[in-house]
A = this chain, B = another copy of it.
Amino acid sequence: MNAKELKTLFEQVRGGKISPDDAVQKLRHMPFEDLGFAKVDHHRSLRVGMPEVIFGPGKRPAHLAEIFARLAERGNNVLATRVAEDQVRAVRKKLRKAEHNDVARTLVLRQKSEKTGKGTVAIVCAGTSDVPVAEEAAVTAELMGNEISRIYDVGVAGIHRLLAHKSELSEARVLIVCAGMEGALPSVVGGLVGVPVIAVPTSVGYGASFGGLTALLGMMNSCASNVTVVNIDNGFGAAYVASMINRL
């Protein structure tokens, strides 16, 4: 059941074709079914009209594959992030069509394809080491129905490389900017555009970068007011919010 079907349900209620009580019952019994080890929440998908997402780390391959398959039965797109090799194998034994992107560390089952985003989501990253995070964002944003553009390896110490992409930056309706080390890129990009910038600190760096904490703090203190921040290496989360914004 997706957002459309839900709306249909409400219209049936409004039109008197189904009683409110029955509607409540229908909704109440629908949300989750028990797999024994985890409650699969179809509600979330329903509420935001997006594919259910499975966070890979710590899940046993067999469990992950079972959750993946159960969700796939509903006909929605399914996305698993940060997947390991053995998880990939377990899922693909069940679902041949699941696509693995080894840079982004994602596993995608595409069952629907609808462009719900109204504009382009630009995905920008500072260095080549930030690419895996940027690609997680790219795969996610694309699966969620967005046109995307990639602008990679444009760190602030070579400001002209970034400025060479100014028109692409300006054309985006929302931007995702991934950077490690000092995390300065979102501030510069934020100053160049008039739309929301979602900053993703990456764990790239060494010494006093503290696994991305320095970048995170830098981004929280951005002098550009159109910057908001998600968790370290959270390319998925950035793409999720960007998708929500791009549908508005």
> Which of A's residues lie within 8 Å of B, judged by CB?
3, 28, 31-32, 37-39, 41, 43-44, 47-49, 53, 57-59, 118-119, 126-129, 131, 152-161, 163-164, 173-174, 181-184, 187-188, 190-196, 198, 201, 203-234, 236-238, 240-241, 244-246, 248
Can you pick out 30 interface pairs between chain A and chain B where the beta carbons lie within 8 Å of each other? A28-B164, A32-B161, A118-B248, A156-B188, A158-B191, A159-B191, A173-B248, A174-B248, A182-B187, A182-B219, A182-B222, A184-B187, A195-B244, A196-B241, A196-B244, A201-B207, A207-B212, A207-B216, A207-B234, A208-B217, A208-B221, A210-B217, A214-B217, A215-B218, A226-B241, A228-B230, A228-B237, A229-B230, A246-B248, A248-B248
In-complex Cβ contact of A205 among B53, B201, B221 (8 A): B221
Would you call the interface of chain A mostly helix, strand, loop, or mixed? mixed
How many copies of this chain sit in the oligomeric assembly?
A: 8
What's the least CB distance linking A212 to chain B, in Å?
A: 6
Complex CA gap A234/B47 in Å reads 28
